[in-house]
Each structure stands twice: as structure tokens, then as C-alpha cells.
Amino acid sequence: MTKVKVFSIPDFIIYYDRLISGLDKYLIIFITLRNDYKYDFNVVKLDIGDVERFQQGFINDTHLDILSKIPYEKYDKIFVCCDAGMSRSPAIASAILYYLKQREDALDMMLRYKYMNIHLYDEVLNKLKDKGEKEK
């Protein structure tokens, strides 16, 4: 079963070696508009601001297409990280958990992160649901 974890980008960078130790198949997603983080590992970087729907910097079709093409099931662990690890990353992580049919884990994450960007969650979950319907 795929595990999905949320971190702030600064914390993830600091603890990277410990977090990936022993993992063969893992995915790292960074959600940020910033370009000043220093790291030397591969990530899927999405330039998404922590804003509400219809505001500049919100998730767009390109981001949603990238997220919908990822084969989440093939990874042992997925790390979803944003600047603070409180809004965007739990939103996307919860949508991924829901898509993976780990509904209780998705709900637990939603309850744990009270500042989760619910608009972002809705957009990503709807796109992932579409992906699931097309795969049937």
C-alpha cells in the first residue's frame, strides 16, 4: 500500500536522507512559487500559489494534467511538500489518498490539517476521479 506523507519543503530538504533511506520507489512533489530552495534530487515541481479558486496562481489545467498522469500506485511512499506543509500539500495528499481508495487516511489528513486548501483539494480530486473513470 502506498503511503502519502506531508512536509514543509524546508523540513523535507533537511531530513531528505533519513526520509528516503531504504526506499526504492518514492515520489516527491513540491508545490511552491519559490525558486530559492536548494536541493539536488528529482521532484515534480508545481508552481501553485496558496490562493483561492479564481485567483492568479491557483492550480491550472497543466498542473492537473501532470498530477493525473502520475501512476501513484507504483510508489511505496509519496512525499507532498509545500512551503509551510499546512495548506497545499495536505490538500493534494488527501486527494491522492482518496484516489488510492485510502478514504480513512484521507479523512484523517483532512481533519489533522485545519488550514488545508479545500478548493485545491476539490480540483485535484475531481481530476483524479476522472482519471479513475477513464481507467475502468
Extents of the domains making up the chain: 3-135
Separation in Å, CA 94 to CA 36, 56, 120: 27, 23, 10
Q: Which parts of the chain register pLDDT below 50? A: none
Note the pLDDT of residue 56: 83
Note the pLDDT of residue 117: 95
CA-nearest of 104, 81, 78, 76 to 91 is 81
Note the pLDDT of residue 53: 82
Separation in Å, CA 4 to CA 52, 54, 91, 113, 134: 24, 28, 12, 14, 23
Place of cell 482518496: 98
pTM score: 0.94
How far the first Cα of the chain sits from its last, in Å, is 20
Note the pLDDT of residue 9: 98
Query: What is the per-residue pLDDT across 77-105, written as a single tens digit (0 to 9) for each?
Result: 999 999 999 999 999 999 999 999 999 99
Note the pLDDT of residue 136: 62
Class of domain 3-135 as given by CATH: alpha beta
* DSSP label of 63: H
In the sheet that 77-82 helps form, which strands lie side by side, from edge to edge? 3-8, 77-82, 26-31, 44-46
Separation in Å, CA 108 to CA 82, 83, 94, 96: 19, 21, 9, 13
* DSSP label of 49: -
Note the pLDDT of residue 131: 80
